[in-house]
Amino acid sequence: MRTAKHRREFCKEGSAAALRLLFLPVLPGVCQPDVAEMESMEAKITGVVGKVISVKGTCAIHRVGDEMKITEHGVQGNVCIHALYSMLPAAFAMLYGARFPWLQNPDIKTHACPDAANPVVFELTRIRE
């Protein structure tokens, strides 16, 4: 029977293989994280916390400061289904170690819910052991 550890290893191996294909050949000093960043990334990722950082308009579900947590085992906390479905791809990518090259901090990403008339903005933060 496959476990969460097996899924994590599979995702890491698949992501690493795909990135090697995309960035061959690697130029010296390009796409290479610094030593401090590499050391911080060695800690195991245990989840992603989503915190509401702004609400514009009217939202019946969320208030600034609300938090929820996404792990390999499910979602803890209250989140509307529309915001959850839109943020799951990014949250799972973060959960399995993906890097978004445009982020200043690879462990923190903002995400807006799909309601353009009443946007709620979440801050997604990786949780490491």
- 10 in a structural domain: no
- pLDDT-derived band at 129, boundaries 50, 70, 90: confident
How many domains, in total, are found in the chain?
Answer: 1
* pTM greater than the 0.75 cutoff: no
- 12 in a structural domain: no
Q: What is the pLDDT of residues 36-55, one digit of tens each?
A: 555 555 689 999 999 999 99
Owning domain of residue 95: 33-128
Give the model's pLDDT for residue 34: 57
- 73 in a structural domain: yes
What is the SS3 assignment for the chain?
CCCHHHHHHHHHHHHHHHHHHHCCCCCCCCCCCCHHHHHHCCCCEEEEEEEEEEECCCCCCCCCCCEEEEECCEEECCCCHHHHHHHHHHHHHHHCCCCCCCCCCCCEEEEECCCCCCCEEEEEEEEEC
- 102 in a structural domain: yes
